[in-house]
Structure 1
Amino acid sequence: MTAPINLAVPSARWLRQKGTLKEPTVLQSFAFDEPNGHLYVLQVTATGRPTGDLCLNKLDHQGNRLGHMYLKGFGHGVSMGVQRDASDGSTWIWTEADAHNGYGRGVTRFHFANGAVRTGADVRIRHPIAGSVNNQPSVCTTSRRIAVRYRNAADEPRYRVWNLDAFVARDYSDPLTDFAQTGAHPDPRIPFQGYALYRDCVYQLAGTAYDPKTNPAARRGNAHVSSLDIHTGELLQQERTEAGYTLVGREPEGLAVRPGPDPRVYIGLASGLVGARRFSIYYKQDKAS
């Protein structure tokens, strides 16, 4: 197993208090397009929560918006993935799709098209786990694997991981692993806020926005990051994070891993008032990993 990234290291600021997303809502998830220097960010639209309408933002690494597109009836945007096509160098975006009650029952991939509006009829939707709901993908370009977080018939959250090439070829018959989600937060009632697959681990984020009674800012929040071994499902590490604790209304939203010699775990944070949200991204870099 590849050594996991140490989540106990202090967090560093990457982007802070950016207001460049197209919709006035919080970010839900984000992923890096390393070869092109782009950052993709998903939001639920201002009126799209019941129907699963999303806005996909394309940003540069300074947080400036380069374009956007709308995804009608896709889901909640809890996670996403980016894949570079080796055959033509194009970038594929992976998201949930086929929304029911605001969450995707399948996944899909597509190319970014600035200003476009896509519906389920415009993409090829995959249902790799029969009868599941809340399908949420993440791609590891380093190991060439894809994970889908899902809920089974008993409403239990689980992860299933495949070889990316097999998945692209629509061969879902031989997943590398399937295991129960665990350890996202010490309090199981605290909401899950995102995950990312990287090498042999799944990295998770959970927590709530500041609240004077249940999560006061003076205590610097209840956000936690954690890691699971994809081969055993074992909880490897669980750490509280105070990243961005001075943000107004701070709420953890979205997690991504940026590969490289010293890989980083990036934590998304929403802040600001309703209708005027801002986003910040902090990271943990473990130079010993």
Structure 2
Amino acid sequence: MTERMALAGYQFVASVDPADEVDSIPGQESTESTEFAVVGGGWVDPGFSVLPPDPFDTAHVPGVVLQGAFAQGRRNVLQSFAFDNRAQQIYVMQVLPNNVRLSGESGPVPYAHRRAGGDLLCSRMDLNGRVLDFMYLRRFGHGTSFGVVPKAGGGVDLWLEGVPRGGDPTTSPARPPEATAVATTPYEPWSSTTNKAVDGDDASRVRLFHPLPGKTFVAPSIDPTTNRICLATRVGPAHSDRLYTYYLYDLDKARTGTWTPVARASFRHAYPQGLLSLGRYIYHWTGSPTADNAYLTTASWDTGEIVQRTFFPRVPADDQIREAEGLAAWLPGGDTARGVRLCFGFGTGRTGADRAITVKYVPDPTGTSLEARVLVDWQVVSPAAGVDTRAQPLRARLISLAGNRYLHMSGTVTLAEESVGLRHIGTLPAELRPSRLIVTNCPRNHRSGHSVCRVELRPDGGVYADGATRERPISWVQFDNVSTAWA
């Protein structure tokens, strides 16, 4: 379901200069909020020129990169992911698992201490979901977002959080730390011979940058189409004001220590589970493990305006836990930006069980396919009391065409007693229920021939026919013509 700027759910705040942010502003405490607010306009350098020029349509029916895959830490939820577009591989970041003992440690370390200390596990996987190798990283951050940059001589560098602060293993769950710097280190697979991790304060293996001194929640992501690095930051406690500022830099210059922003924008929103700059737009991924509140929001770097906001509702087939985790750009063509895909992830599973990884994508806005796909095949619509479907069973299915979802129905119902007013016809299966009211028209009986009635398809699954009067009651309704946009 897509919301536009004029709809409810957006709060526009008086414009402020990001430089005027204060350290702590009392605000809402809930992490379940779906509110997304613009705080001041965007700003970009006049020389900011990028492709693709258009934003992704996040309401497009997504394709699948990985479904039900497992990284090295099977019991740990996905935190974020990134692509090596040259090798066509995916890197997955998790908190370092429970009770792992690395070289130099006195014994196995509990998960709470790993989480609070900023210890991470990065798995390198192929696009079939097979783990190729992995590495351990200590004292980096929570893994909220990171980037993978191929090196000229082979291999990749990881750009991730660094110098973590504020973790607490005594809370329940353990409070993760927040980074205060940007770190970069080569990806080096773990060796059973040495059993070592890369330590965040090891200057021989890790470079640290402090482009935003005094800021917390420094989380990087990389736009491979423009060779720019985006940093998310926040001033104040994580769940109070929820005010985040995003900065965009040239990656080549950042490597040399020159961190001069080419764009900046501020927003107030829930804790970000993923962030990504692509072209002239910035994408935010929010949502919590058990609430039905996964939103992908698109904002303009130029104006700071929210261009699109898409809700990804839970469906009955979803696991008990389904948490929005990670955004990344995937270039299926390798180093060319043509065909770029906006990918978003979910960490899924059940309490006490392994945590699977699902990664889906929205295709290049210039390359929408006209392909038709069946998303949910024909399912029987359960008839209400007094509704007969024996002549032609009432059914429904869901398809996608050119990235849009359509609900099809077929069948004819007859009523045991002629209906007057609103009549309950049946109930859609759970996977076919829309997120909003859908209204269409269907043929019905009429004393002088055929007529039409209003048909309502409701979010609770109810199918209703309306429009009958005492003079013109309804005794049958035909649904074969139903082909309606579905969200």
TM-score using structure 1 length: 0.87
Q: Does 1:76 align with 2:138?
A: no
Distance in 1, Cα, partners of 2:154 & 2:55: 29
Equivalence map 1:191-230=2 (5 Å) = 191-210=271-290, 215=291, 221-230=292-301
Query: Percent sequence identity over matched residues?
Result: 28
Distance in 2, Cα, partners of 1:263 & 1:203: 14
Match for residue 281 of structure 1 among 340, 359, 364: 359
Q: Does 1:114 align with 2:180?
A: no
Determine the structure 2 residue equivalent to 1:130: 213
Question: Does the 8 Å CA contact 1:26/1:278 hold for their aligned counterparts?
Answer: yes
1:243 Cα offset (Å)? 7.6
2:277 aligns to what SS in structure 1? strand
1:17 Cα offset (Å)? 1.1
Task: Describe the shift of the 1:277–1:72 C-alpha distance in structure 2 as closer, same or farther (beyond 3 A).
Answer: same
2:144 aligns to what SS in structure 1? coil
1:269 Cα offset (Å)? 0.8
1:99 Cα offset (Å)? 0.8
Structure showing greater relative contact order (alpha-carbon pairs closer than 8 Å, 6 or more residues apart): 1
1:264 Cα offset (Å)? 1.6
1:167 aligns to what SS in structure 2? helix
Distance in 1, Cα, partners of 2:78 & 2:236: 29
What amino acid is the match of 1:162? Y
Distance in 2, Cα, partners of 1:245 & 1:138: 32
2:116 aligns to what SS in structure 1? coil
Equivalence map 1:98-109=2 (5 Å) = 98-101=163-166, 102-109=177-184
Aligned length: 272
What amino acid is the match of 1:32? F
Distance in 2, Cα, partners of 1:44 & 1:68: 13
Structure 1 alignment gaps of length 5 or more: 183-187, 216-220
Greater shift, 58-67 or 263-272, is seen at 263-272
Equivalence map 1:139-178=2 (5 Å) = 139-152=222-235, 156-172=243-259, 174-178=260-264
Q: Could you give the per-residue CA deviations for residues 219-238 of structure 1, whole angstroms, max 9, x where no partner exists?
A: xx321111121233221111
Greater shift, 151-160 or 93-102, is seen at 151-160
Task: Describe the shift of the 1:120–1:14 C-alpha distance in structure 2 as closer, same or farther (beyond 3 A).
Answer: closer
Determine the structure 2 residue equivalent to 1:94: 159
Distance in 1, Cα, partners of 2:183 & 2:74: 22
What amino acid is the match of 1:250? R
1:121 Cα offset (Å)? 2.2
Question: Does the 8 Å CA contact 1:146/1:163 hold for their aligned counterparts?
Answer: yes
Determine the structure 2 residue equivalent to 1:252: 324
Task: Describe the shift of the 1:269–1:245 C-alpha distance in structure 2 as closer, same or farther (beyond 3 A).
Answer: farther
Task: Describe the shift of the 1:244–1:162 C-alpha distance in structure 2 as closer, same or farther (beyond 3 A).
Answer: farther
Equivalence map 1:26-105=2 (5 Å) = 26-46=77-97, 47=111, 48-86=114-152, 88-101=153-166, 102-105=177-180
Q: Could you give the per-residue CA deviations for residues 173-210 of structure 1, whole angstroms, max 9, x where no partner exists?
A: x210221034xxxxx4x442111121221111111223
Distance in 1, Cα, partners of 2:298 & 2:232: 14
Greater shift, 96-105 or 25-34, is seen at 96-105
TM-score using structure 2 length: 0.53
Task: Describe the shift of the 1:39–1:243 C-alpha distance in structure 2 as closer, same or farther (beyond 3 A).
Answer: farther
2:354 aligns to what SS in structure 1? coil
Distance in 2, Cα, partners of 1:253 & 1:209: 10
Q: Could you give the per-residue CA deviations for residues 102-123 of structure 1, whole angstroms, max 9, x where no partner exists?
A: 1211111111111051112221
Task: Describe the shift of the 1:202–1:280 C-alpha distance in structure 2 as closer, same or farther (beyond 3 A).
Answer: same
Distance in 2, Cα, partners of 1:228 & 1:279: 26
Task: Describe the shift of the 1:153–1:280 C-alpha distance in structure 2 as closer, same or farther (beyond 3 A).
Answer: closer
Task: Describe the shift of the 1:19–1:261 C-alpha distance in structure 2 as closer, same or farther (beyond 3 A).
Answer: same
1:20 Cα offset (Å)? 3.4
Q: Does 1:8 align with 2:25?
A: no
1:250 aligns to what SS in structure 2? strand
Question: Does the 8 Å CA contact 1:25/1:275 hold for their aligned counterparts?
Answer: no
Give me the CA root mean square deviation: 2.0
Structure 2 alignment gaps of length 5 or more: 1-49, 98-110, 167-176, 191-195, 332-336, 368-487
